[in-house]
Amino acid sequence: MDSSASTILMPPPLELKDERKKGSVVFDSSKMQKQEKLPTEFIWPDADLVRAQQELNEPLIDLDGFFKGDEAATAHAAELIRMACLNHGFFQVTNHGVDLDLIRAAQEDMGAFFKLPLSRKLSVKKKPGELSGYSGAHADRYTSKLPWKETLSFVYCYDSGSKPMVADYFKTALGEDFEQIGWIYQKYCDALKELSLGIMQLLAISLDVDSSYYRKLFEDGYSIMRCNSYPPCKEAGLVMGTGPHCDPVALTILHQDQVKGLEVFVDNKWQSVKPRPGALVVNIGDTFMALSNGKYKSCIHRAVVNMDKERRSLTFFMSPKDDKVVSPPQELIVREGPRKYPDFKWSELLEFTQKHYRPNNDTLQSFVEWRLSSQTK
């Protein structure tokens, strides 16, 4: 990522005024669960802790007909996507072309990493400004409202061709004993790439624009792939696994285990996303909201924690190449009216979320205003 933006000053996010130091908390999941007193850094404001009382009514979309080129099935899938994206941006897909045994292996193999001793996990600790590596509660990035989770992130480039960059990452970073697992995630990312590009075609069809417009934008893009582990917590009602936010990326494809936890804020209330074995949860992010000129909604969501059971999820965050300009198709502007957001490069929004602003429910608008103020200085 370009470091020049780091010279642009901006008012520090609230937590930076806090006298506590970043990195003063070590999230050792094996010990945290036994701890008598919950460190205050993990306690969230009451306003964030309201529980979900119902399930989201998102569509379950069968992609079989779309992948077989059936026009009626494609039109039906696009219509279901349109209705969901006009409302909350979440839907689930089946017959998505990703082998169910591969999904099961990818979901289960997370345990081999998260069960490692903390010292081994810290040996691949995510460095500031890098996208790959291990993070414990983002304790080196934030000083309050720490998420009750461990994550392992790695990058998958859509145009990496025959170079197995994910398998290489696992073998290089974690050694021979993770080589086989690395190939599971390599194959998983290969499959999710095809699915994500197919969904980009369906999104274009749903917006009645050139069906290849978005697909072309992402063919040389990349994904930030992330394994999430949310350890159980006795005070589950006071902590948050992943706080309320909109994903800054274009599209997120998530697989969750059978422990409920993903919730979406729709019609002024939190609604839980039902785990469906073999289905994949899809949501559009801020970058696609901009690509749809604000017609489709990137929606606030969060992950809550369970008192007794660990919850794990796999998130595939689809992004355009860093220097790609995020701009909606002209035919949408002509038809739907004035631009809602200025053109921007994905690398600028990513840098904003990594160096200057903690993603929340207003990240894109805050980014647009921050960039404008930086340019007028």
Ligand X SMILES: O=C(O)CCC(=O)C(=O)O
Contacts with ligand X by CB under 6 A lie at 228, 242, 247, 254, 256, 261-262, 301, 303, 313, 315
Coil/strand/helix, residue 15: helix
CB 284 within 8 A of CB 338: no
Q: Are strands 54-55 and 269-272 parallel, antiparallel or unpaired?
A: parallel
Q: Is 311 a catalytic residue?
A: yes
Q: Which of residues 58-77 bind ligand L2PXNNRO (CB under 6 A)?
A: none
Coil/strand/helix, residue 305: coil
Q: Pick from ligand L2PXNNRO, ligand X, Fe ion, none: which does 249 bind, CB < 5 to 8 A by kind?
A: ligand L2PXNNRO
Q: What sign does the dihedral 225-292-93-74 (CA atoms) show?
A: negative
Q: Pick from Fe ion, ligand L2PXNNRO, ligand X, none: which does 224 bind, CB < 5 to 8 A by kind?
A: ligand L2PXNNRO
Residue 197: which of 84, 278, 98 has the closest Cα? 98
Burial class (CB in 10 A: 0-12, 13-18, 19+), 116: middle
User: Count of residues binding ligand L2PXNNRO (CB under 6 A)?
Assistant: 13
Q: In degrees to the nearest 10, what's the CA dihedral of 14, 239, 132, 221?
A: -80
Q: Which of residues 219-258 bind ligand L2PXNNRO (CB under 6 A)?
A: 224, 242, 245, 247-249
Closer by beta carbon to ligand L2PXNNRO, 16 or else 60? 16
Closer by beta carbon to ligand L2PXNNRO, 82 or else 138? 138
Q: Is 350 in the site for ligand L2PXNNRO (CB under 6 A)?
A: yes
Closer by beta carbon to ligand L2PXNNRO, 170 or else 316? 316
Task: Give the nearest distance from C-beta 4 to ligand X in angstroms.
Answer: 27
Residues that bind Fe ion (CB under 5 A): 247
In whole angstroms, what is the distance from residue 222 CA to residue 356 CA? 22
In whole angstroms, what is the distance from residue 341 CA to residue 236 CA? 38
Give the number of other CB atoms < 10 A from CB of residue 127.
10
Q: Pick from Fe ion, ligand L2PXNNRO, ligand X, none: which does 228 bind, CB < 5 to 8 A by kind?
A: ligand X
Closer by beta carbon to ligand L2PXNNRO, 188 or else 317? 317
Closer by beta carbon to Fe ion, 205 or else 299? 299
Task: Give the nearest distance from C-beta 347 to ligand X in angstroms.
Answer: 19
Q: Pick from Fe ion, ligand X, ligand L2PXNNRO, none: which does 196 bind, CB < 5 to 8 A by kind?
A: none
- The contact mask relative to ligand L2PXNNRO for 110-149 (x = CB under 6 A, - = no) is ----------------------------x--------x--
DSSP letter for 141, please: T
Q: Name the residue type at position 217.
A: L
Task: Give the nearest distance from C-beta 304 to ligand X in angstroms.
Answer: 9
DSSP letter for 126, please: P
Closer by beta carbon to ligand L2PXNNRO, 63 or else 106? 106
Closer by beta carbon to ligand X, 171 or else 301? 301
Task: Give the nearest distance from C-beta 232 to ligand L2PXNNRO in angstroms.
Answer: 19
Residue 297: which of 309, 285, 280 has the closest Cα? 285
Task: Catalytic residue, from 226, 311, 312, 358: name it.
Answer: 311
Q: Pick from ligand L2PXNNRO, ligand X, Fe ion, none: which does 133 bind, CB < 5 to 8 A by kind?
A: none
Task: Give the nearest distance from C-beta 317 to ligand L2PXNNRO in angstroms.
Answer: 4
44-52 long-range contacts, Cβ below 8 Å, gap at least 24? 44/145, 44/238, 44/239, 44/240, 44/243, 45/145, 48/145, 48/240, 48/243, 48/244, 48/302, 49/237, 49/238, 49/240, 50/270, 51/237, 51/270, 51/304, 52/263, 52/269, 52/270, 52/271, 52/272, 52/304
DSSP letter for 340, please: S
Task: Give the nearest distance from C-beta 232 to ligand X in angstroms.
Answer: 15
Catalytic positions are 311
Which residues sit at the interface with ligand L2PXNNRO, rule CB under 6 A? 138, 147, 224, 242, 245, 247-249, 317, 350, 353-354, 359
